[in-house]
Amino acid sequence: MSNTDASDDRLDSLLDRLTIDEKLRLIRGGVDPEERATGYVPGIDRLDVPALSLVDGPMGVRAGTATGFPASIALAASWDPDLAREAGRALGIEAREKGQDVVLAPGMNLLRVPQCGRAFEYYSEDPHLTSRLAVGTIEGIQSAGAIATAKHFVANSQEERRFHVDHRIDERPLRELYLRAFEASVREADAGMVMAAYNGVNGDPMTENERLLTGVLREEWGFEGVVVSDWWAATDGPRAIEAGLDLEMPGMPVSEWHLSESNPITRLIDAIPYWGWLPRQTLARLLMTPWLPDHANPNLFDASHFDRPVREALDAGRLDERVVDRSVRRLLVTMDRFGVLDDDRPEPAAGDHATLARRIARRGTVLLDNDGVLPLDDPDSIAMIGPNVDRAKVGGGGSSAVDAASTTDPLGGVRDRAGAETRVTVEQGHESFETATMGASPFDGLDFGGEGAGGRIDDAVAAASEADVAVVVVQDNATEGEDRPLWLPGEQDQLVSRVATAAEQCVVVVRSAGPIAMPWADSVDAILACWYPGQADGRALADVLFGDCDPGGRLPATFGRRPADYPATDPAAYPGIDDVVSHEEGLAIGYRHFQSADVEPLYPFGHGHSYADFAYGDVSVDEETVEVTVENTADRSGREVVQVYLDPRDRSVERPPRELAGFEAIELGAGESRTVAIDLPDRAGAVYDPDAGAWAWPDDRFEVVVGRSVTDERGRAEVRLRR
Ligand code: GLC
Cα→Cα distances 615→640, 668, 677, Å:
11, 12, 16
| Segment 454-480, tens digit of pLDDT | 568 999 999 999 999 999 999 999 999
CA–CA separation, 200 vs 217, rounded Å? 16
Is the alpha carbon torsion for 260, 263, 266, 271 positive or negative?
A: positive
Residue 719 reports pLDDT greater than 50: yes
In the prediction, which pLDDT does 419 show? 81
CA–CA separation, 21 vs 2, rounded Å? 32
In the prediction, which pLDDT does 528 show? 98
The two beta strands, 52-55 and 39-41, are antiparallel
230 carries an active-site annotation: yes
Atom 8, ligand 1: which residue's CA is nearest?
230
Distance 197 CA to ligand 1 centre (A): 9
Distance 195 CA to ligand 1 centre (A): 9
CA–CA separation, 467 vs 136, rounded Å? 44
Mean pLDDT within 700-719: 97
Q: From the centroid of its chain, how far is CA 33?
A: 30
CA–CA separation, 122 vs 89, rounded Å? 18
| Segment 198-233, tens digit of pLDDT | 999 999 999 999 999 999 999 999 999 999 999 999
User: CB-based contacts of 70: which residues, under 8 Å, 6+ apart?
Assistant: 59, 357, 360, 361, 364, 531, 532, 533, 534, 536
Chain mean pLDDT for the chain: 93
Distance 399 CA to ligand 1 centre (A): 5
Distance 117 CA to ligand 1 centre (A): 13
Q: Which of 56, 230, 302, 647 is an active site residue?
A: 230
In the prediction, which pLDDT does 248 show? 98
Nearest 5°: phi and psi at 248? -100, 125
Atom 12, ligand 1: which residue's CA is nearest?
399
Confidence at 352, pLDDT banded by 50, 70, 90:
confident
Mean pLDDT within 336-358: 89
In the prediction, which pLDDT does 138 show? 99
Question: Which of 13-27, 252-266, 313-327, 602-616 has the lowest average pLDDT?
Answer: 252-266
- Helix/strand/coil (H, E, C) string of 592-621? HHHHHCCCCCCECCCCCECCCCEEEEEEEE
Residue type, 534: G
How does DSSP classify residue 289? G
Confidence at 654, pLDDT banded by 50, 70, 90:
very high
Nearest 5°: phi and psi at 459? -65, -40
* Residue 274, number of CB atoms within 10 A of its CB: 9
CA–CA separation, 617 vs 349, rounded Å? 43
Residue type, 259: L
Does residue 241 contact residue 319 with C-beta atoms inside 8 Å? yes
In the prediction, which pLDDT does 280 show? 67
User: CB-based contacts of 578: which residues, under 8 Å, 6+ apart?
Assistant: none
Q: Ligand 1, residue 62: give the atom nearest the CA.
A: 12
User: CB-based contacts of 273: which residues, under 8 Å, 6+ apart?
Assistant: none
* Angle (CA) 489 493 496, round 5°: 130
* Residue 522, number of CB atoms within 10 A of its CB: 9
- The pTM score is 0.96
Residue 375 reports pLDDT greater than 70: yes
With a Cβ cut-off of 6 Å, ligand 1 is lined by: 38, 56-57, 104, 151, 230-231, 399
| Segment 240-296, tens digit of pLDDT | 999 999 999 999 988 787 665 666 666 676 777 666 677 666 777 777 777 777 778
In the prediction, which pLDDT does 2 show? 64
Does residue 245 contact residue 229 with C-beta atoms inside 8 Å? yes
